[in-house]
């Protein structure tokens, strides 16, 4: 997963094409307000060994991270989703510890990207 970039700009270019900087602004805000909750859900589910909740939360995270090009985070979530399906606890724990780090990196990259956007 180290191969995946923190931020791939191609999806952002698509979103810009679709809805301009406003849409990117709105979606990133949604991402920033939503993701910490999902990561917390992942941690809680893992502690409670609730594999279903873990699968669900990591599936959501995989999808929203992908839409914004946060590929490293999306890849961690994808692996987490498949490990949670098979109940591989040790692997899940390792991945879930990486998620907050990947999120912070993605957030910083998205904020940087946003500041470089052309005006609306």
Partner 1 sequence: MSDAFLELARTGKLPSPSGVGTRILSLTQDESATVDDVAEVLARDPALTGRILHVANSAAQARSVPLTTTKEAAMRLGLRSVSSIAVGFTLVSSNQSGICEGFDYAAFWSRSLATAAAAGMLAREIEPALAPEAFTAGLLSDIGRLALATVNPVVYTSVLGSWHGKRTELLALEQKALGIDHAAVAARMILGWGMPSLISGAIEAAARHLPEGGPAAQVRLARILIAADHLGTHHVGKGEPSWQEDAELTSLLEALGIDVLDLAGHMPDIEAEWRELASDLAIKPLPPWDEAGAAREDPAAPKPEGPLILAVDNDPIALKVLTNCLHRAGHRVAPASSGEEALALALQHQPAILITDWQMPGMDGLSLCRALRRCEIGRSLFVIVLSGRDEADACTQAFDAEANDFIQKPFHPRQLIARVKTALSLHAAQSSVANEKEPTAAGEALGDDTERDHQTGLPNRLFATSHLTSIFGSSSKPLSVIALGIDGIAEVSSTLIGQDLTRQLAEHLKEVLRRDDVVTCTASGKFLLLCPGANLLDAAGLADRLRIGIMDAKIGLSGHVEALTVSAGVAERSHVAKTPAALLQLAEAALEMGAMDAPNQVHPAA
Shortest spacing between CB 108 and partner 1, in angstroms: 16
Shortest spacing between CB 37 and partner 1, in angstroms: 7
d(CA 24, CA 14) in angstroms, rounded, equals: 10
| Using rule CB under 8 A, residue 37 touches partner 1 | yes
Single residue of 86, 116, 118, 119 touching partner 1 by CB under 8 A: 119
Judge contact between 120 and 24, C-beta under 8 A: no
Distances (CA, A) of 37 to 12, 16, 118: 23, 26, 30
**Which positions touch partner 1 (CB under 8 A)?**
11, 14-15, 17-19, 21-23, 25-27, 30-31, 33-34, 37, 56, 59-60, 62-64, 66-68, 114, 119-120
């Amino acid at each position: 997963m180290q191969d995946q970039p923190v931020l791939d700009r191609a999806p952002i270019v698509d979103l810009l094409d679709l809805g301009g900087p406003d849409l990117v602004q709105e979606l990133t805000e949604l991402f920033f307000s939503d993701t910490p909750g999902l990561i917390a859900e992942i941690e809680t589910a893992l502690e409670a060994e609730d594999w279903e909740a873990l699968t669900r939360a990591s599936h959501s995270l995989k999808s929203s991270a992908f839409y914004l090009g946060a590929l490293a985070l999306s890849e961690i979530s994808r692996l987490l989703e498949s490990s949670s399906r098979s109940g591989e606890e040790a692997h899940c724990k390792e991945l879930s510890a990486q998620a907050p780090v990947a999120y912070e990196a993605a957030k910083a990259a998205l904020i940087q990207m946003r500041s470089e956007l052309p005006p609306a």
